[in-house]
Amino acid sequence: MQIFEKDGALLLQKEGQIIGQCRLLPTAQGAQITLLEVAPAWRRRGYGTYLLKEALRRTGAYDPKALRVHTAPWPHNEAELAFWQKQGFVPEAVPQPGACAPAAQNRPGWRLVRRRAPDYSAVQLSHEFVAGRLAAPALCVDATCGNGGDTEFLCRLCAQKGVPGWQVLAMDVQPRAVAATRARLDAAGFAEPQLRTVCASHADLLRYAAPGSADAVLFNFGWLPGAQHTVYSTAESSLPALDAALAALRPGGVLSAVLYSGKTIGSGEKQAVLAWLRALPLAQYTVLVCDFANWADTAPLPCFVLKK
């Protein structure tokens, strides 16, 4: 059994014959499925589900990082409706400006829609939290710049707030990471003097940012996305880096740290940082550890420190 593409359709072949087809029109956020059929002799054996899942996979329906929308025509009967609903499709009136929605869902004017919202990530939470805390950031630090995602966020945040002379410091111990960050920020239109990149350990932060000068310091621990997983952060350098970040923060500043654990990196760094966070004196710091309660124990863990 195999699926191949021909003339804009996915064809399901078994035993030398075409037993099913799925026709779809790609859209900006997914696809419009215009036809899904399986030969009568091959129905109720799971081939329709197999073909539909492959069509959804090829058009990004299972992408956890993007909004995906797939539509299908209204089914002919209740059995077909149940089939589509098992794959996450629900009835929806076709939008028609100026017209009222149909009175019943079994009439023309309705379709089936499958929507998948992007998963809410620990990094996204950290960005929203930091953005909500900073009214007029002048200096922000990405202490583990990686491929530049946090750096770009900080640059856009500072530019949006409009503080004259703002600066973002991006640092990483890997030259590849610094180069990737520089290329990404160049493409985004950010350069010196607003953006400053250095190839150095985050433990050496105070060499590049004066004590009490930073509005925010971000850490995204773990390994460089897209690189070998044999190189990753450890508590040996991360704990001194966190100490340096607290010293670099001004009163009212915020430290954000996303912690990771798993088979490759273990949980040593994560547990060490959590112990460090819990030991911070309440008189000087407010500490938040944000647990995604229904995720796996190895899910990224966003943590925040507010300096008083």
| 143 and 108 share one domain | no
Task: Work out the mean pLDDT of the chain and round it to a whole number.
Answer: 89
Query: What pLDDT band is residue 101 in, cutting at 50, 70 and 90?
Result: very low
Q: Which domain holds residue 47?
A: 2-116
| 132 and 95 share one domain | no
Q: What is the pLDDT of residue 103?
A: 42
Mean pLDDT of 11-36: 94
- For 161-212, the pLDDT digits (tens) are 988 999 999 999 989 999 999 999 999 999 989 999 999 999 999 999 999 9
| 147 and 292 share one domain | yes
| 192 and 111 share one domain | no
Give the end of a domain, one of 116, 145, 179: 116
Q: What predicted TM-score, i.e. pTM, was given to this entire model?
A: 0.71
- For 205-226, the pLDDT digits (tens) are 999 999 999 999 999 987 656 5
Mean pLDDT of 120-137: 92
- State percent of the chain over pLDDT 70: 91
Q: What is the pLDDT of residue 267?
A: 83
Asked, as a colleague might, if the bond just before 95 is cis with ω within 30 of 0, I would say: no
Q: What is the pLDDT of residue 106?
A: 52
- List all residues 6 or more positions away from 198 whose beta carbon is below 8 Å from its beta carbon: 169, 170, 171, 178, 208
Q: What is the pLDDT of residue 284?
A: 98
Torsion of CA 242, 246, 128, 63, to 10 degrees: -10
